[in-house]
Chains A and B, each alone.
Chain A
């Protein structure tokens, strides 16, 4: 492919003007490499949030043209971590990919759950279920348990509107706003056994 010096004229900067005049000054590369056949690889950078703790550090996934994640780095423009990642965050790539111990190749992490698994009462086996089925089932059981155990007043006649049959354990990987919404939901259901899951 022949690129004319005129095309370099469009480049801004002194280096561009130098490159433009280089031929006439006798210092332009004579054996300009033909780039027509040169192989290149395209990738994209996609921002994400580290799932490990409640800090919510920003990360960038480098994704190649087949959709595979090539690398994960700290997001320099994220206000919380400004490009840094802890040792767990730095290993975020291994949530999806791990190195095969025999071949050394990067392969999909075989321990990563990618579908909903359900074990029925008294069963020893896991079954794959859809998200719709699972959410429906969770909603039904929460409603059923709450309705069966709901107390409007306690034994002293004091209004309590509560259920003690359900408990909720928070998550270390969610932020303040998500915690607020979760507590709001639990209180609306009448759940009083709430606890945090801080990773301190």
Chain B
């Protein structure tokens, strides 16, 4: 996990450089802080023993494959409520009904667990449809995209708990796949480690980090060097976009050696929004279709 104090410093630094991003960075930090507050309270559904974890990693199966997190003793509803409150407190225009979200029937009692399981068993790209089917939008009047943010942030907290518990004893050296060893999602951003130039991928969902060959596409496993390129804006060579000519996916990558600091990839992901737009302009896709969480 990232140190919250250092994260705040980083956000202050970047807010000075790009003031227009300050509200977005602060909002995300508030969500992340809320998630971190709940992580120690959540129970785990997989063993974190190093040899058991390594056996599973060797087999190429991500740890939470076909496993649904335990939504007790802290309920999905409670985490959702906390995330809603933090969004209301840290948004310039908080949605008026967001504070009543936790009271909606879709989140009460067993329904809350059912909704969480449904979100976990669907693909992240299907979240909008799950939200529509739950009927929350119609009953509360809260915008679908805001509901997606709240529910996915709450769900991710349960996966973050597993990621952080496993990461305490394991550096995922045995994991050789391009998707996250904990939740199975494709990486959102990456960094080159300062000490040895190796590429560390970062899961945007549960924030797990693992190393992956530098000259190989994590999305299609293409290792033909003539089809792997990267681009950067000339006045910022430390932040690049690695692109694959085979699958047309891209991955933002931060070179820690050039920045001479340990970067916070969560902050960098939002700070480098411009690179996402440039990659789209160049005809590349954000990320491969996410894998199912379940």
Contacts and interface: CB of A to CB of B under 8 A. Distances in A.
B24 interface: yes
Nearest to A5: B145
A185 B95 CA distance: 80
B73 to A, nearest CB: 24
Given A33-B274, A76-B214, A84-B196, A15 B230 contact: no
Nearest to A85: B197
Interface residues of B, number: 67
A146 to B, nearest CB: 42
B175 interface: no
Nearest to B270: A15
Given A15-B270, A26-B23, A47-B215, A3 B148 contact: no
B107 interface: no
Contacts of B94: 25
Given A12-B290, A15-B270, A22-B24, A77 B215 contact: yes
Interface in B217-232: 225-226, 228-232
A21 B153 CA distance: 12
Contacts, number: 182
A31 interface: yes
Contacts of B195: 83
B145 A27 contact: no
B146 A25 contact: yes
B289 to A, nearest CB: 8
Given A12-B186, A45-B228, A24 B24 contact: no
Given A19-B24, A26-B92, A42-B229, A3 B145 contact: no
Given A13-B205, A77-B214, A83-B198, A1 B281 contact: yes
A43 interface: yes
B228 A14 contact: no
A105 B27 CA distance: 46
A11 interface: yes
B229 A18 contact: no
Nearest to A10: B286
With most chain A CB atoms within 10 A of its CB, the pick from B145, B214, B270 is B145
Contacts of B286: 7-8, 10-12, 16
Contacts of A18: 24, 27-28, 31, 149, 153, 270
Contact of A25 (B95, B228, B270, B287): B95
A71 to B, nearest CB: 10
Given A19-B273, A20-B148, A31 B20 contact: yes
B205 A26 contact: no
Interface residues of A, number: 50
B153 A17 contact: yes
Nearest to A40: B231
25 contacts: A9-B128, A13-B269, A14-B205, A16-B204, A17-B153, A18-B149, A18-B270, A25-B27, A25-B87, A25-B93, A26-B92, A27-B93, A30-B20, A32-B20, A33-B277, A39-B233, A41-B231, A41-B232, A45-B214, A45-B230, A46-B225, A73-B197, A75-B197, A75-B214, A76-B214
Contacts of A31: 20
B190 interface: no
A159 B286 CA distance: 73
Contacts of A84: 196
B215 A24 contact: no
B149 A20 contact: yes
B229 A40 contact: no
A15 B225 contact: no
A83 B196 contact: yes
B49 interface: no
Nearest to B160: A14
Contacts of A86: none
